[in-house]
Amino acid sequence: MSDHAEVMKGIHQYPGIRYPVLTPNLQGFHHAVCVLCAGLSIRGKHYAAKSDRSKIHLQPLWLTVSKRLYGMGCYEIALGDTTGVGTPGSMKRMLESVMKEIPPAALAVHCHDTYGQALANILTALQMGINVVDSSVSGLGGCPYAKGASGNVATEDLIYMLHGLGVDTGVNLCKVMEAGDFICKAVNKTTNSKVAQASFNA
């Protein structure tokens, strides 16, 4: 989280693509504004007024304040299972509840794979009309607020599932696996992607 300003300055940003960053405090928010981030993932309502003045879109994560934040003008509300304990059943119940107040077009899901339920949860969300999903190459990452939580669902596994459903993602799965392999070697980690493991061991 602390190096998003350097990352944003160092990458080539393509037109029409959002590059969201997580800003868990006001200092991080200001740093993100300075590098003109188009999408910010925040924690807490006190950023809303500032974001309106800065013309920055917000992507809050707290389910408990989803309705209030939507009313404040947040364009996208990401419902996050950062501990990875959710199941398709709980995902369905959560979305049914939230969608009574917020349209599916304004919702996204952020599923970690601690209990191996991320893809099943995402499929449930897709079937309910959600079309924005967070993922992480090689499933890297974790949750600093939940000890033992694994990373976000692997991008490679998500793409493989979407392609199997006939969804044209426009993403080259082989290239993503290559990127994941490069990153894992660079940080000395083992990929959490089942698709990558199966492909490299084939």
Report whether pLDDT(3) > 90.
Answer: no
**Same domain, residue pair 95 and 43:** no
**Same domain, residue pair 197 and 180:** yes
Q: What is the largest CA-CA distance in the chain?
A: 53
Catalytic residues: 143
Angle at the Cα of 165 (from 16 to 86), degrees rounded to 5? Answer: 85
- Bigger pLDDT: 54 or 86? 86
**Same domain, residue pair 4 and 26:** yes
Residues in the chain: 202
**Same domain, residue pair 131 and 172:** yes
Report whether pLDDT(120) > 90.
Answer: yes
Q: CA-CA distance, 202 to 189, in Å (whole number)?
A: 20
Helix (H, G, I), strand (E, B) or coil at 58: strand
Nearest to 98 by CA among 107, 111, 88: 107
Domain that includes residue 66, residue range: 60-201
How many domains are contained in the chain?
2
Write the Ramachandran bin of 73: left for phi over 0, alpha for psi from -120 to 50, otherwise beta: left
Question: pTM for the whole thing?
Answer: 0.75
Report whether pLDDT(199) > 50.
Answer: yes
Whole-number pLDDT of residue 61: 66
**Same domain, residue pair 141 and 171:** yes
**Same domain, residue pair 138 and 77:** yes
**Same domain, residue pair 3 and 54:** yes
- Bigger pLDDT: 124 or 69? 124
**Same domain, residue pair 95 and 194:** yes
- Tell me the per-residue pLDDT of 13-49, one tens digit each, with 9 for 90 and over: 888 887 777 666 667 666 666 655 555 565 654 544 4
